[in-house]
Chains A and B, each alone.
Chain A
Amino acid sequence: MLEVLKPGLETTIQDFPGRLGFWEQGFPPSGPFDMWSHRLANALVGNDEHAATLECQFLGPSLRFQRGAVVAVTGADMAPKLDDLSVPLWESFRVRAGQVLSLGPVRIGARSYIAIAGGIDTPPVLGSRATFHMAGVGGMDGYALKAGQVVPIAEAEGTLGCRVPEEFRPEIRAKKEWCIEVVAGPNDDWIDSAGHEMFLSSPWFLQAKSNRTGFRLGGPEWTFSEVATNKRPEHGQDPSNILDHGYPMGAVNLCGQTPIILVVDGPSTGGFINPYTVISAAFWKLAQSCPRDIYRFKAVSLAEAQGRRRHIDAICAQAVSG
């Protein structure tokens, strides 16, 4: 059991791949935003990659362990400490009963993952422990951690002294510019060639009005093709309006002139076009970026998108060395 002394900023329980299969009923997948770091955290402590971890955002929690456990912290650097001593990222270590693991304000990246051998043992909802706090589903009573709560942990021996070599970690640096891979569509035909050129050649900045629902960007003006400007009235007045349709995970959802990337807790349907879709293998970069970071988008084929995902899957399956 873990006692929450300080909750941090919206620290949530998440599991991989999240709550799949219910999107048509409005449940997004949720799950870890940086699934690469989450899976490696589990691998370090000997858990199945589906075990639930804690996702810490920007400001980490302080947690007292009521019994001993094997733990690993991955992802963003929030200067984790065990009592007063620093503990390394990307390595499994022993926590004794009564010790306090604390993560502070983020130094590099944005989201850290804490895995505990055995995994977090809250009741699954629709097959997943992932927190979707807007609907009060999953997690600890539906929401982010609160001070005074006690988080149940399943029993397991764990694997001590494991480490992820640097070449297998996501490259989370103090960089402010990221290359984000996208595939064209589903509504790329609504944008004219100048609009495509503009999107793929311009720097876009991440607005602070961004969270696990959507990543709101700032940048230049879009231009549209005749599909958008000469359409039937039921599609709506603005060029970016379309008759309500389903949204893909990772959609670059164009709301008027503002692109919003729909991410893990995003909406399933709506009336805006999605000219591009961010590939799942690039989600970790979104997850690890801070407001005002710069994105440059690179169009890739579906085959390359799938290849990049398989590459991360392969790393997560074999990266940990003991």
Chain B
Amino acid sequence: MTTIQILSPLPGVFYRRSAPGQPPYKEEGAPVAVDDVIGLVELMKSFHEVKADSAGTVTKFLVDNEEAVVAGQPLAELDG
């Protein structure tokens, strides 16, 4: 098992769900496949999907829903 971080591709505001009231894309403990969406980053009036580039299991999210992030910031950790 190795720990893999998913990094934010952009600065902006991180969201764990597709819309208010919707379940999170991924709960901690959930399996993740390559290209699965794990959240959104809002920037320039648009929402940009953040996709996993490795498969594994989400061990934890490193930022909260609606928290501001910078480009390259780790958003979540996977065991893979």
- CB <8 Å contact, B72 and A9: no
Q: Which of A10, A106, A209, A213 contacts B11 (CB 8 A)?
A: A106
Number of interface residues of A (CB under 8 A): 17
Q: Which of B42, B48, B71 contacts A209 (CB 8 A)?
A: B42
B31 within 8 A of A: no
Residue-wise, chain A 103-114 has the 8 Å CB interface mask toward B (1 for contact) of: 001110010000
Q: Which of B13, B43, B45, B68 contacts A58 (CB 8 A)?
A: B43
Contacts A57-B44, A209-B45, A291-B42 hold; do A105 and B9 have CB atoms under 8 A apart? yes
Q: Shortest CB–CB separation between residue A104 and chain B, in angstroms?
A: 8
B70 within 8 A of A: yes
A105 to B72, CA, bound (A): 8
B56 within 8 A of A: no
Q: Shortest CB–CB separation between residue B48 and chain A, in angstroms?
A: 8
Q: Shortest CB–CB separation between residue A262 and chain B, in angstroms?
A: 14
A210 to B13, CA, bound (A): 12
Contacts A208-B13, A290-B11 hold; do A9 and B71 have CB atoms under 8 A apart? no
Contact surface of B with A, Cβ cutoff 8 Å: 9-13, 42-45, 48, 68, 70-72
Task: For the complex of A and B, list the 6 residue pairs with the smallest distance between their C-beta atoms, beginning with the closest.
Answer: A292-B68, A105-B71, A208-B42, A211-B44, A290-B11, A208-B13
Contact surface of A with B, Cβ cutoff 8 Å: 9-10, 57-59, 105-107, 110, 208-211, 213, 290-292
